[in-house]
Amino acid sequence: MRLVGLRGAITCAADTKEEIEAKTQRMVKELLARNEVEPDDIVSMIFTATDDLTAHFPATAARGLGLDQVPLLGARELAVEGGLPRCIRVLVHCYSDKSRDEVQHVYLEEARVLRGDLSE
C-alpha cells in the first residue's frame, strides 16, 4: 500500500446545517466507495468551504459517517472573484493499492466544472 491523495468537491443549494451535512456526507461516501477506502485506511482529511457556507462545519458532518478516529481539519477556501459559490472541497490522505492513475476523484453537482477532466 502507498499513501495517496483523493480530491472531491460538491456544491450546496443553501447555507443550512442540513444541506451542508447531507452534501458533505454524500461527497465523502462517494469518494471512499469509488476508491474502496475503509476508515482505517484514512490518514487525514482536510475540508474547505467557501465564505458563503457558515451554518455547519463540513468536518463535523464527516464525523457522522463514523470517522471519529480520523484527524479532520476545516479551513476557508480562497475568496477568488468568479469562484464557484457554496462549494465544499476535500483532500483525503489515505493508504491504497491504487496508483495515482487509478484513483477516482469525485466532483459532484456544480463542482464538476472545477475539474471537468476528472469528472464523470
Q: What pLDDT is recorded for position 118?
A: 65
- Assess whether pLDDT exceeds 80 at residue 116: no
> Could you tell me the CATH number of the domain that includes residue 20?
3.30.1330.40
Q: How confident is the model at residue 114 (pLDDT cuts 50, 70, 90)?
A: confident
Q: What pLDDT is recorded for position 115?
A: 78
The rounded distance, in Å, linking the Cα atoms of 10 and 77 is 13
Q: What pLDDT is recorded for position 120?
A: 54
Question: How many separate domains does the chain show?
Answer: 1
The per-residue b/e assignment along 13-52, b for 16 or more CB within 10 angstroms, e otherwise, is eebeeebbbebbbbbbeebbeebebeeebbeebbbbbbee
Look at the pTM and tell me if it is higher than 0.85: yes
For the record, the C-alpha cell of 11 comes out as 456544491
Q: How confident is the model at residue 119 (pLDDT cuts 50, 70, 90)?
A: low
Q: What pLDDT is recorded for position 100?
A: 87
Q: How confident is the model at residue 117 (pLDDT cuts 50, 70, 90)?
A: low
Question: pLDDT tens, 61-80?
Answer: 999 999 999 999 999 999 99
* Parent domain of 28: 2-115
> Which class for 55: exposed (0-12), middle (13-18), buried (19 or more C-beta within 10 A)?
middle
The answer to whether residue 27 sits within a structural domain is: yes
The answer to whether residue 39 sits within a structural domain is: yes
The answer to whether residue 120 sits within a structural domain is: no
Show the 3-state SS of 71-110.
CEEEEECCCCCCCCCCEEEEEEEEEECCCCCCCCCEECHH
